[in-house]
Structure formats: structure tokens, C-alpha cells
Structure 1
Amino acid sequence: MPYDRDHVVLEAEQVTNFPNDTRKFGLEAFRENLQVKIWRVSRDEMEFDLVGLDASLANAFRRILIADIPTMAIETVFMMNNTGVIQDEVLAQRLGLVPIYADPSAFTFKTANQAPTDVNTIVFDLQVRCTRKPNPGPGETDPDKLYQHHSVYSGDLKWSPKGDQAEKFADDPIRPVHSDILLAKLRPGQEIHCEVHCQMGMGREHAKWSPVATASYRLLPHIVLKRPITGDQAERLQACFPEGVIDIVEEDGKRVAKVANPRRDTVSREVLRHDEFKDLVELKRVRNHFIFKIESSGIIPSSTLFSQSIKHLMHKVKVVMKAVEAMENSMVEE
């Protein structure tokens, strides 16, 4: 199979790439060719296409989203009482992974030597005690009907404002993103009482600070039908792909297979496992067309996350440019 400069070619047992591609990055060509196509946006999810850029840039956005955008998360747990079956350190780990809805731009990083203040720390209280409900039915075994507060949820974390936090966040109070995350289970007489402190951090230090559940990309599939495929063979071809990838249309009284929506293809290469299609179908991926998907953890809207990743990358570039200029100036002086 000939090499294809603009596509990654997928064969039954291997992926072929164009070797020794000498095309260099050029700013003018980048400006002319770059396209951003937004397919769907919600607060927690965003899917868009990045067209006309190198995989290194697409991966830079992905890594920034995962590791370099700061958020607030539970860092310290002060355990006053825990008579439940979950050990203190395990409960603390579970608490740490609860996403906290708070605007990171309103806070600062806390250093190891700094004391907690209203600008670097958020405080929550958690106090839940399990008791029996009065007069349960005879033979009742359902915990919901037997006990009160037998399940401890993230919604039981109560924000304790410090300083001017109550006034600053009056319109949009600080809280767990989800109130129904199960933290522990209790039985009558058991109690959990603790105070937790949230601090700013980044995903590169711990995943609990990552603002995304996932940030991923894949290359756009490109399916080539080398000749018309008709009749029953068209239906067999359609069955080799996910629903919606291949359509069957009527042409001149014949049922003909057509590529309808290659975006929906998972590129399983199932079609190449059938001998009848090996010489009829070619599977490729477009080298510079990235299908990007962002799933926010709920702290920061997905669209805001992408714009922040762009600003963060620009800042990194400026830092590198200054370092290069300083090195060049030092070499000239020598």
C-alpha cells in the first residue's frame, strides 16, 4: 500500500505512517489552516474539532486540561470522632475526591508555612450520627425504614464561611458539586464528626485537583470505498461498522453502500477481517483533524476550561521565549 502523507492508514494487522515527513511548522500556514468546529456544548461536556494542527499541540491542550488548571479540593481532614467501620485514612481519601464547587480565581495557593486564611482555605464541617427510627414495622429489614442518617453523603458536608467568604459567595455558595456521593454507611450509635480544609492545587500534584473527568482526542476516521458495493454485500458491509457510519441508498434500482458519518466509526477494523472487503475498503485517519472531547468534573464549565487551556499554553510559550532571549543575550555578551 502506498504511503499517504495526509492520512494514517489502518491495515488489518498494522498502522502505517508516512516516514521522514520533512514539512516544518510555519506560523502563517498555521494561521491559515487552523479551524475550530464546535459540535456540542453543555456545562459539563464539550465536543469540538481542531483541524490543521500537529498532534503535539493537541496533546499540549489535553495535558494542560488534566494537570495545569488549578481548582479547590479537600486537602486536610481533622477527625474529631469516627466510630463507623471505615478507617480514618480511608474516609479522608474518599473525602478528598469529592469535587468542590468554588471559583479558583477567588483564592490563592497556600504554601507549607502559611496559616489557613479566608483567601487560601475553604472549611467544611461534617457531623452525622445514625439513630433508629421509632416504630418500624414488624420484620422490617430495609435500612431506610429502620435508621436515620445511616448513609453519609457528600451533601452532608456543610460549608463554614470564614472572613468575608459568606458575603463574597452569597449569590453562588461554595458546596460539593454533587450532593449524592456516598462516603460511608453507619449503624445506630455510630458517628462521623470532622472538619475538612480545601486548598488550591493542580492535577499534576494529585488527580483530585484535576478539573476534568476526561480530556481526550482522536483522529477523524476516513473511510474509502474503492468501488460501488451493492445488494446483500452492501448490507454485510454496513454490519461491519457502528450504526450510522454506512447508509444504504437506492441508485438505479440497486441498493448501494455510502459512507454517511465517519465520525461515528470506532475504527475497530472489523471490515478488514472479512476477505471479501479487504480489496474494496480502505480505512484511514486524517492526520491533522482531531475530534476533541472535554468532560468537566463540574467545578468549571467545559467551554471555560478550553479557553483557559489556550491562555495557559500562551503563557508557557511566553516563558520559553523569554528564556531563549535571555540565553541569546548572555551568549552575545560573552
Structure 2
Amino acid sequence: MAPVSVSPEEARRRKIVGVNAETVTHVSSTDFPGHYPGEDHAWSLEKFAKDFTVQFHQNSPYESTFSLFPLDASIANAFRRILIAEIPTLAIEYVFIHNNTSIIQDEVLAARLGLVPLTGRLEGLNWMQFYKRPVSDEHDASGGGETERDTAADNNTVVLKLQKECSWAPGQPKEGETDPNVLYINSNVYAKDIEFIPTGRQFKEFPSPDGLIRPVNPDILLAKMRPGQTIDLEMHCVKGIGADHAKFSPVATASYRLLPTIDILKPIVGQEARKFARCFPKGVIGLEQEGEEGEVRAVVRDTMRDTVSRECLRHEEFKDKVKLGRVRDHFIFGVESTGQFESDLLFLESVKILKMKCVRLKRSLANVTR
């Protein structure tokens, strides 16, 4: 039997997830073999390579928004999970406290330091290797106690230091002065006070000044001190992934949503058009005047700004005049970087990791079938 041709209108209808006043319909995918008689929906690499599109809407060092389409939800979610948990980054892992007489307990201060996002020369960060941690008795498969771990070296460990002591400001303060910035020196300890101590090849991989390992935001407040209090500690930074600890996650947020659709089935004019526009975020619905003396008419301007709030479906006058939905294979990603990598580069890294996963799976399947 000859393949059945599908009109563009029917193909679009199949992709739309219906958003109704109380329900969501057509949530299941239909683009797989056998769902429609006479139609071949077998997955094809050539067809995917031809149709797949990456479209950037916003691209800044710390935040980017882009669309991936057409794409299956499983692949989109794989990218999201890799962005959050599997891209390796550098973070503070070990804190050796020599002296801490501030009001903050040692363990609390160490936890705060571990969550400070770090950055440095990208080539140097990629050059660094993972640090092999010891495995305790209960997790050691051989049952022989702790396994041998790596020795801290220039290619797997970065050393940072923090030494601050609070003292009285010189001179006699004015009577009634209460501002700690005037009364004391080093009363606030910030992330910019962290000092990078390079060793070995790190002098080359992290050149001064722009390539040095440093906090992304120098104004992160770490502790408050008063005269006589001191913080003196050393930190060792290693590479890790977000699946081990959230401090290694390279993103603050990585999420996606489906592209909204708004279909105006019947003309909405006059005061109803103005009310209809107020049901959506600014910029989603526009008002066009019909002729020089005609009434204004509601038109769809930018559905990407829409949040699919269904507010318009609560009003009786818009019943049967509008249909809301979402495109099931159009994913709008929002990625906010913590600063170690630029936001658009993070997506490319997630593609590399997914590719490596596929290569490993293909190799394992080949070994099984031998």
C-alpha cells in the first residue's frame, strides 16, 4: 500500500498538546511506527539531521535561552539532567582550618566555602583530572579497608588560602559612631579575600591575572568578625560532578518548557480584544486597527512570552473563540550558569557527554553480541 500523505494542518494538529480550562489532552506522542495505518514513522538519522534545529533567543555569559526542535522529550530531558548533574566542575572539597576564632563554627564555614562558585582559564580547567577519593570499608568491594587514593598534585588539586584578622581602625572614632566599616578593619570577609596558590604546571595553565582560579562573584560574604577574631585556613579544590554534590553543578537552573500555541478561532474585537490582551503577559497579544475608523482586533504577536495561564478560558465571552496548546516537540531551554563555564558552552558540553554515553552503550552491546 502506498504511503498516506499528511497535510501540514494535520501534521501540526498531531503535535499540539491541548490546554483546556480544566484538562490537558493529547499528551501522548504519535510519531512512532504503526500508530497511523499506511504511514512510516520509523526513526531516521538522515531525517533527524535534516530537520533538527537549535535556535538561540538570548545568549549572555551567565544566562542563555534557546529552542531545540523537533526533538523527543526523552532526549530533551537527558540534556537537562546532564547539565545539572554530569558536567565536571571545580569546587572546594577539603578545608583545613588552622585557626578560626570567628562566631561561625568550623563546619558551617567549610560548607559556605564549598558552595562558592569558582572560575579560571577554561583550558586549565579542562586540563585538570579527577582526584581519586578513598573508599571506606563498607563501600570497598574487596573488603580490604580504604583503597589507595591519588596523591594531591598540580593536575588534580588546586590550593586556595584565606587569612584574615579583624582589628580596630586607627585613630579615634567619632562619638556615637556605629558603622563597623569605620570602626574595624577586615570586619567582613568576602570571597575576594580567597588567594590562589599555584604550584607546578598551574603557573602555565592558570596565568595571571585573568586566568587565575578565583570566585565568580568576589562580593560573596563569607563571615563577619570583630577585633581579635581570626580566620586562617587552606582549601583544596578538586573536580567533581553534580551527581556527587550540588556544589559541583555548573548551573544554577537548567529547565525547559514546551512552546505555547494560541489559535484565535473567531475574531475578537473592540473592548473584548483589550480584555483578551490583558489575559496574557505583555507582548503576547497585540491590537490591530481594522481600517482608519475600524475597531481594534486581537492578534497573536509572540507566543514564547506566554505562560499558558488559561486566564482567557475563565471568561464566558471567549468561549469557542480561542484554543490554547503547546507544541510537544519544541523545547525552550533556559540555562543559568554559575560562572565556571559560559551558558552556551554548557549545552555543547552536555552534547559531548551524551555522545560519549552512546559510544559506551554501543561498545557494550557489541561485546554482548560477540
User: TM-score range with shorter-chain normalisation?
Assistant: over 0.9
Structure 1 residues 31-42: aligned runs within 5 Å: 31-42=49-60
Match of residue 123 from structure 1: 159
2:217 corresponds to 1:178 = yes
2:266 corresponds to 1:227 = yes
- Tell me the distance in 2 between the aligned counterparts of 1:50 and 1:108: 32
Deviation (angstroms), 1:20:
6.9
Change (3 A) 1:119 1:272: same
Match of residue 327 from structure 2: 286
- Tell me the distance in 2 between the aligned counterparts of 1:11 and 1:317: 39
Deviation (angstroms), 1:27:
2.1
Structure 1 residues 101-116: aligned runs within 5 Å: 101-102=119-120, 103=122, 104-112=125-133, 113-116=149-152
2:31 corresponds to 1:13 = no
Asked if the contact 1:71/1:211 (under 8 Å) is kept, the reply is yes
- Tell me the distance in 2 between the aligned counterparts of 1:315 and 1:237: 49
Asked if the contact 1:229/1:256 (under 8 Å) is kept, the reply is yes
Match of residue 297 from structure 1: 338
- Tell me the distance in 2 between the aligned counterparts of 1:242 and 1:303: 27
Equivalent AA in structure 1 for residue 216 of structure 2: V
Asked if the contact 1:4/1:18 (under 8 Å) is kept, the reply is no
Instruction: Give the stretch that moved more between structures: 163-172 or 35-44.
Output: 163-172
Asked if the contact 1:4/1:17 (under 8 Å) is kept, the reply is no
SS in 2 for 1:76: strand
2:290 corresponds to 1:251 = yes
Deviation (angstroms), 1:115:
1.5
The match for 1:142 among 179, 195, 204 is 179
Structure 1 residues 148-159: aligned runs within 5 Å: 148-159=185-196
Match of residue 76 from structure 1: 94
The match for 2:46 among 9, 23, 28 is 28
SS in 1 for 2:218: coil
Deviation (angstroms), 1:26:
2.9
2:223 corresponds to 1:205 = no
Equivalent AA in structure 2 for residue 179 of structure 1: P
Asked if the contact 1:228/1:256 (under 8 Å) is kept, the reply is yes
Deviation (angstroms), 1:4:
4.6
- Tell me the distance in 1 between the aligned counterparts of 2:88 and 2:117: 13
Asked if the contact 1:5/1:18 (under 8 Å) is kept, the reply is no
SS in 2 for 1:144: helix
Instruction: Give the stretch that moved more between structures: 266-275 or 201-210.
Output: 266-275
5+ residue gaps in structure 1? 330-334
Asked if the contact 1:150/1:187 (under 8 Å) is kept, the reply is yes
- Tell me the distance in 2 between the aligned counterparts of 1:160 and 1:31: 47
Deviation (angstroms), 1:22:
5.4
Match of residue 309 from structure 1: 350
Match of residue 367 from structure 2: 326
- Tell me the distance in 2 between the aligned counterparts of 1:19 and 1:186: 58
Change (3 A) 1:154 1:18: closer
SS in 1 for 2:182: helix
2:315 corresponds to 1:274 = yes
Equivalent AA in structure 2 for residue 6 of structure 1: K
Identity over the aligned pairs, expressed in percent? 48
- Tell me the distance in 1 between the aligned counterparts of 2:186 and 2:271: 61
Equivalent AA in structure 2 for residue 232 of structure 1: Q
SS in 2 for 1:5: helix
Match of residue 195 from structure 1: 234
Deviation (angstroms), 1:275:
1.9
TM-score (norm 1): 0.94
Match of residue 332 from structure 1: none
- Tell me the distance in 2 between the aligned counterparts of 1:20 and 1:165: 51
Deviation (angstroms), 1:300:
0.8
The match for 2:76 among 39, 53, 58 is 58
Instruction: Give the stretch that moved more between structures: 139-148 or 195-204.
Output: 139-148
Deviation (angstroms), 1:19:
4.4
Aligned length: 328
- Tell me the distance in 2 between the aligned counterparts of 1:218 and 1:19: 16
CA RMSD of aligned residues (A): 1.6
TM-score (norm 2): 0.85
Deviation (angstroms), 1:216:
1.2
Structure 1 residues 88-103: aligned runs within 5 Å: 88-102=106-120, 103=122
- Tell me the distance in 1 between the aligned counterparts of 2:289 and 2:280: 20
Equivalent AA in structure 2 for residue 10 of structure 1: V
1:12-43 CA-to-partner distances (Å, cap 9, x unmatched) read 12211254735253323312221111122121
